[in-house]
Amino acid sequence: MYIEINSPLDMHLHLRDGAMLNLVAPLSARHFSAGLIMPNLVPPIRTIDDVVSYKKRIIRAIQNEKFTPYMTVFFHEQLDFNTLQALKKEILAVKMYPDWVTTNSAWWVKTVDLAKIWHIFEAMQTLEIPLCIHWETNDFVMDREKNFIPIYEMLVKTYPKLKIIMEHITTKESADFVEKYDNVYATITLHHLMITLDDVVWWLLQPHLFCKPIAKRPEDRQALLNLVLKWSKKVMFWSDSAPHPITKKETKYCSAWVFTAPIAIQFLVELFEKHNAIEKLWLFLCQNAKDIYKINPPEKIVRLEKKEYMIPERYYDVVPFKHEQIVSWSFTHW
């Protein structure tokens, strides 16, 4: 049994920089047609020069694979209409991080104070630049996403023509919210479709499943699955694949995030097959992102066969999601 996927897209991808970039970029470029690249480096990607320089480093790192890196810029208070207008030809979206909620997010504004930054949203709305938001507050960890909904609703209603993407949603409340407004979309990760908090902390702590936003309850996972499996055009796949070396995962202060890029498509095929919905995978993995972002990525046919594959223990010093476990689908070529 075989399946072919035309131009799979990863619309939220961390490639890091330096040696880590050179390690992980080819692993995404091998099987994905394009990816939306996150800007939270140290220091973050904030200017046109930053964007252009980082994109060149990515293109060098992917080693001639057919892969388009769609770039983003880090939201900051110095953005204005002229800056965004100049940036538009180089970026696909602006990425907003609430302060200190995730890796390298300490440069963002402390609160969504419209009196200070309303002109940025106005400019983005006029220029038709999407806003991607890691939407969490700094409250109790299980409530952070739910408690961000009032802020999100304020933005959605105030800027009804601004395309807003709720990044890596994890809760039933978020799944319900995405379908309430025409200008709201969402991304969902593989790991939030597969795991709950029990998988992370039950019996023994699993550091390579520890991610932000943290995995939630079974009913939350089911709500995400229901949204994906109902042919919703409001959601798209992104891996949120974020590599950390094993020395930063298996340690006293464990870094958050999960590395899924090399094996995400295999697990997605297995998951959709389990729910008798393989024919729906193309919408979630390919078409929705094209429609939402109005993009035409390069064509790349990815072929898989129904053949068991053992996930490697690690890729150099990065341990992948479900390492040393078997997935029931394999790529027919590498």
Helix (H, G, I), strand (E, B) or coil at 327: strand
Report which of 252, 167, 256, 264 is spatially closest to residue 211, judged by C-alpha positions. Answer: 256
* Whole-angstrom distance, CA of residue 232 vs CA of residue 186: 10
* Whole-angstrom distance, CA of residue 169 vs CA of residue 154: 18
Asked if residues 183 and 138 have their Cβ atoms less than 8 Å apart, the reply is no
Of 198, 240, 291, 317, the active-site residue reads 240
DSSP label of 32: -
Dihedral, CA atoms, 323, 327, 332, 334, nearest 10 degrees?
-10
Report which of 40, 25, 70 is spatially closest to residue 257, judged by C-alpha positions. Answer: 40
Give the bridge partners for 301, in sequence order.
Answer: 6
Asked if residues 106 and 79 have their Cβ atoms less than 8 Å apart, the reply is no
Residue 113 annotated as catalytic: no
115 membership: H or E segment, kind and range: helix 114-127
Report which of 198, 215, 197, 88 is spatially closest to residue 145, judged by C-alpha positions. Answer: 215
* Whole-angstrom distance, CA of residue 50 vs CA of residue 58: 12
Catalytic residues: 240
